[in-house]
Structure 1
Amino acid sequence: MNLFNANETKAQFILSLLPITLFFPIGIGYTGIVLFFVALLAGGQYRDKWQAIKDSPMFFPVMGLLTVTCCAGLLLERPDGFWKAFMHYQIYLVLLVFISVGAGYWQQRALRVFFAGAVLASTLLYLNAFQLLPDWSLFQNYRMYAGNKSILIGILLGIAGGWMLNQICANHGHKWLRISMWLYVAVALLFLAKTRTGSLIFVFGCALVLLRYLTFSWRSVLLVIGTVIILGVAWQTATGFRERLVGTVSDIKAFVDGGKVSADGIRLEMYRITTDIIKEHPVVGSGVGTWAIKYPERAQGLMSAEMATPHNDYLLYAAEIGAIGVCALLWIWLTQLFVAIKIGGENGMRLFTIGIAIMFGGLVNAILRDALFGIAFMILLAIPLAGISRHNYKSHFGDLDR
């Protein structure tokens, strides 16, 4: 891996290293982002950067959501905490800033750095399983379940697993090394990481990759059989993952029948109450930042009364900026999938799998409302999206060394 390419900017170089910071405490990642912004401003060439942003196929969808939230801020209720909630809606502006650096070798390095981070994170999970992980604050999210950061680590491993399989199926060199890395990450995720979301994203991502490359050949058949065997073994032996999925199904059934759900099932309770809020103003919503005011009033005495979000971006957008806001969100997300299909190849597959991961993650977590998740996805989205123009859907990512 080249540490620095003479033709790349300092901002590109820093951006290429950010993926590995996502596996560690949030302060490390934010420090890297600050350094990126400093390098970006110091690098000049602002007209070129602005042109790269305007030419991106993501520009108009992101501006659409910005317009909707600005109108909501001007015309609807503005409670305490409005500006904080408003800024969360603008997370995709960060993506536009990231892709302003353009295409370059940095994308290839960023992909390798991301894979290195996934292998390192898997190693930490293995060490913790054998009680060999030092009791340092740097590793606290690996030693015990610590909320969203632990969930994020699982999601990152799930995305990395899909992207690794994408390279294996594309018949890159060093195949056995790549397969070993994929297995190493997959086992750590399915057996040791404490997250359903990451495991499901891994399954979805791998399934999409296999469908993309499936052919009538022994190689494809063996690859599919091997993947199915791994997932089958994981289902039989990874009791934590299986029990949480079975528990989720049981909670859904109990909720539909009017019974009592478990602590893990309070999302269903949140969804029901949030749906009642949506019914008040289904088209335009109640206003940015209003969910945090309205929900506790309706959830007094319930386990979910202190929640900061409904753990579902679709419902949050519908409650605060209505059906119009949900359409603006879907415009962004569907554009990602459309661009992925137009790009094609390995880079298109990377974009498609992470696009599906975001859309699925938005069903069960505050993927955009929580900056911890949002910033991570923007960094990873920048890898396949940088250099793509809506006037010419040609990927400038280049082939990785085979």
Structure 2
Amino acid sequence: MAAASVGLSMVLISLAKLLLVLCGLATVLFARHTMTTNQPLSGQKTPVVVLLALFAFALSLFWSVAPQAEALGALAKYGKLMVIILMLLLVRNRREALYALGAFVGAQAFLLMGSWLLFAHLPVPWATSDMATTHYAVFSSYLDQGIMGAVFAAVCWHLRFLFPGRFGPQAAIFLALMALLNVFFVLSGRSGHVVAIALLSITIMWELPRKHRALAVLLPFVLAVALFFSSAQVRERLVLAQTEVQAYSQGQSNTSSGIRLNFWHRAIQIMMERPLAGAGIGSWSGEYNRLQRAQNPAHVDINSNGNPHQEYLLWGVQLGLPGVLLLLMLMLAVLADTRVMTPHFARATQSTLLALATACFFNASLYDAQIGDFFCVLLGLLLAAGCHHPEKQAKAAPRSELAA
């Protein structure tokens, strides 16, 4: 249910997370023998860094400048990182991992179908997004759906040989192709375009012979140019970004890019004021309002528990430079855990990680709801699937078990 819920309505995501937490607590309390036997978290680096990050955020409550309610609310938002550990804890074998991945693929295919139906101006009664009729997003924003579509395409491609049936691999390739076309030619989210270009580039690199992989450095630029001339959505959004950046340089900051650039500028200022420990969990909105009021007394405060639309800077604002390093450590831990996986699981996980690392440059992709839940559930599921692969389990099994 957790694997199927991501990308769908927030109600389903919240309910699935609640059930996941309850199952995790039940496992810890009542399945000690099973946990001792299987050792699901043994050797995994990611859970250690997740717990370290959550401890650091909780510790920053002692010096946070944010009101207690805002600080606790921000801490609760980062609580979704525990989903990664829960997936590793609850998925007991490869069969369960494949069932969960099947649920994920089925739900994402349903989401993709809904977007195409909206694009064709056909009725989609289950679409609840405010952007359904204008930007063809079904449940979330076109920004989130574009990123999720790009990741879904990469997962389908790398795990295509696991799709059941005679034509399973062909069906996976079809889904990947339809997802990419949806991202580039239907959805207008620039973050989704950038993530899709990054994932497409690294996928092509992996398919090239090793002696030609150095050419992959040029792939993102080649793909960007090709899409600029072939996709009206990509071209319009790139031209708009250029126009908005030029307007910001002339003092106009009321555009999408202008707001982001202003947020990033203020976030760097806050980090420079408190480089070692940050302003504490949940402090972004209050600190931003403080700096804006100092420049403009008529400034209208932004809502509490906001973010600077950049995950790296958000961690830096709250925890200082150590926070940025902690986020990088989390990503490196996931990367390290993929090195013991078989190639198809490793590449699917690394592609998801690359998508997260790229999206975090333009959005708070772990802090935000829906897209943050998407990444946490999928990363946890892929890490669990790679951890329980038969070849890996066979290598780790005692000699007596192999003999039996």
TM range (shorter): 0.7 to 0.9
CA–CA distance in structure 1, aligned partners of residues 275 and 210 of structure 2: 49
Counterpart in 2 of 1:245? 238
Unaligned runs of 5+ in 2: 214-219, 395-404
Counterpart in 2 of 1:215? 209
Unaligned runs of 5+ in 1: 1-16, 221-226, 398-402
CA–CA distance in structure 2, aligned partners of residues 106 and 196 of structure 1: 35
- Aligned partner of residue 89 in structure 1, secondary structure: helix
Counterpart in 2 of 1:374? 372
Q: Name the CA shift for 1:85/1:170 in 2 (closer, same or farther; >3 Å).
A: closer
Instruction: Report if the CA contact (8 A) 1:284-1:322 is conserved.
Output: yes
- Correspondence 1:87 to 2:87: no
Aligned-pair CA distance for 1:144: 4.0
CA–CA distance in structure 2, aligned partners of residues 196 and 94 of structure 1: 28
Counterpart in 1 of 2:400? none
CA–CA distance in structure 1, aligned partners of residues 349 and 309 of structure 2: 24
CA–CA distance in structure 2, aligned partners of residues 371 and 49 of structure 1: 30
Instruction: Report if the CA contact (8 A) 1:57-1:388 is conserved.
Output: no
> What do the CA deviations read for 1:124-179 (whole angstroms, capped 9, x no partner)?
12211221123555465533457954322222111011122224599996344333
Aligned-pair CA distance for 1:62: 1.7
Aligned-pair CA distance for 1:87: 2.5
Letter in 2 for 1:131: H
- Correspondence 1:365 to 2:363: yes
Partner of residue 335 from structure 1, selected from 323, 333, 356: 333
Q: Name the CA shift for 1:240/1:285 in 2 (closer, same or farther; >3 Å).
A: same
TM-score, normalization by structure 1 = 0.80
- Aligned partner of residue 346 in structure 1, secondary structure: helix
Aligned-pair CA distance for 1:75: 4.3
Instruction: Report if the CA contact (8 A) 1:290-1:320 is conserved.
Output: yes
Equivalent positions of 1:1-400 (< 5 A) are 17-41=1-25, 44-46=30-32, 48-49=34-35, 51-53=39-41, 55-77=43-65, 79-80=67-68, 81-101=70-90, 102-136=92-126, 138=128, 142-145=132-135, 149-167=141-159, 174=167, 175-215=169-209, 234-255=227-248, 257-261=249-253, 263-265=255-257, 266-300=259-293, 305-306=301-302, 308-386=306-384, 395=392
Instruction: Report if the CA contact (8 A) 2:101-2:381 is conserved.
Output: yes
Tell me the matched-pair count: 371
Letter in 1 for 2:273: E
CA–CA distance in structure 2, aligned partners of residues 335 and 210 of structure 1: 24
- Aligned partner of residue 132 in structure 1, secondary structure: coil
Q: Name the CA shift for 1:46/1:200 in 2 (closer, same or farther; >3 Å).
A: farther
Q: Percent identity?
A: 18
Instruction: Report if the CA contact (8 A) 1:197-1:361 is conserved.
Output: yes
Q: Name the CA shift for 1:359/1:86 in 2 (closer, same or farther; >3 Å).
A: same
Aligned-pair CA distance for 1:381: 0.7
Aligned-pair CA distance for 1:240: 2.6
Q: Name the CA shift for 1:321/1:229 in 2 (closer, same or farther; >3 Å).
A: closer
- Aligned partner of residue 194 in structure 1, secondary structure: coil
Aligned-pair CA distance for 1:40: 4.5
- Supply the RMSD in Å over aligned alpha carbons: 3.6
